[in-house]
Amino acid sequence: MWGFVTIEGDKRGQENLDQGEKLSGAVPDLSQSSLPLNEISIDQGEAHTAVLDRQTSLTLLGSLAGADRIQREAEASSLVCKILGDTEYGIEIAGGYLAHHPEIAVSELLSKIQEKMSQVGGGRSGSSLEGNLEESSSVLESTYALLECSWEKLDSPTQEIAIFIGHLPPHTDIAWTVVELMKQIELEENSETDSVNLINLDRSKEKLIHLNLLKPVEDEKYSMHLNIRKFFLDKASNLEV
């Protein structure tokens, strides 16, 4: 079971892990961590959400999923950008999903998002959202639905790691040494000595990066958009950690 890491006695957080600060583990109360959709908010100050113009959104989507592919499905691509509110992180997630799944058409991803919006958004169908696409609540619903699509492509170990990352302090970079350390502690507690699980940990990291859910910063440090972290916290109550 993963523990929630806190670092005592130093405000520099994960950066001081290599200097020998003491780690204390406490298992989070996952039964209390479910986050309703209406509490996931785009906060310009804390979440650093950039909103792009449509052409820039399409260019970004094309750079990730393939420009020819986006041009072939120009209408569907524009609609994907529109329902995501042209938010940079939303476009990056969509592009990562499409790049990771070249067999899926843009129109198919659009249908998946709309279908999940109808499930998550109180039973509203995708077509009924047409008149409310500019409303922030609808943008959040579509982003949540897109994250559901990405979530379904993660295996259980990667979902577990994603939830653990969601519990880390939200306004600091993620030091991968912390994740590795907690995994090593888990292996030792289970009397496992092989390195297979640590190799799988690296594979999980790469999958999160490829899906644009985790972004490299520098020197094995990573960042994750605040709303993605909140989504993973929402999933904590549905996955035994």
Q: Residues 39-81: pLDDT tens digits?
A: 333 443 345 678 999 999 999 999 999 999 999 999 999 999 9
Question: Which of 148, 169, 147 is CA-nearest to residue 213?
Answer: 147
State yes or no: pLDDT of 170 exceeds 50. yes
In a domain, 39, yes or no: no
Q: Looking at 73-195, list the stretches that DSSP marks H as alpha helix, in order from N- to C-terminal side.
A: 74-83, 88-100, 106-120, 136-152, 156-166, 176-189
In a domain, 205, yes or no: yes
pLDDT of 194: 57
163 and 146: one domain? no
13 and 74: one domain? no
Which of 152, 177, 200 is the last residue in one of the domains? Answer: 152
164 and 139: one domain? no
Mean pLDDT of all residues belonging to the chain = 76
pLDDT of 121: 54
Which of 101, 133, 152 is the last residue in one of the domains? Answer: 152
In a domain, 99, yes or no: yes
Q: pTM for the complete prediction?
A: 0.73
How much is the average pLDDT of 178-197? 74
**C-alpha 132, offset from chain centre:** 25
146 and 55: one domain? yes
82 and 57: one domain? yes
Structural domain count of the chain: 2
148 and 159: one domain? no
* pLDDT-based confidence at residue 197 (cuts at 50, 70, 90): low
84 and 171: one domain? no
Q: Which domain holds residue 165?
A: 4-32+155-236
169 and 200: one domain? yes
State yes or no: pLDDT of 31 exceeds 60. no
Q: Return d(Cα 160, Cα 151) in angstroms, integer.
A: 11
pLDDT of 189: 78
Token look-up 């990056």 returns 92
* pLDDT-based confidence at residue 14 (cuts at 50, 70, 90): very low
State yes or no: pLDDT of 5 exceeds 50. no
Q: Return d(Cα 141, Cα 188) in angstroms, integer.
A: 41
pLDDT of 192: 62
In a domain, 38, yes or no: no
**Residue 47, helix vs strand vs coil:** coil
pLDDT of 219: 85
In a domain, 37, yes or no: no
State yes or no: pLDDT of 186 exceeds 90. no
Q: How many CB atoms lie within 10 A of CB 20?
A: 7
pLDDT of 182: 83
State yes or no: pLDDT of 203 exceeds 50. yes
Higher-confidence residue of 74 and 20: namely: 74
In a domain, 182, yes or no: yes
In a domain, 42, yes or no: no
167 and 222: one domain? yes
148 and 173: one domain? no
How much is the average pLDDT of 189-203? 71
163 and 226: one domain? yes
In a domain, 165, yes or no: yes
How much is the average pLDDT of 176-191? 81
* pLDDT-based confidence at residue 209 (cuts at 50, 70, 90): very high
Which of 152, 167, 191 is the last residue in one of the domains? Answer: 152
Write out pLDDT tens, residues 78-113.
999 999 999 999 999 999 999 999 999 999 999 999
61 and 137: one domain? yes
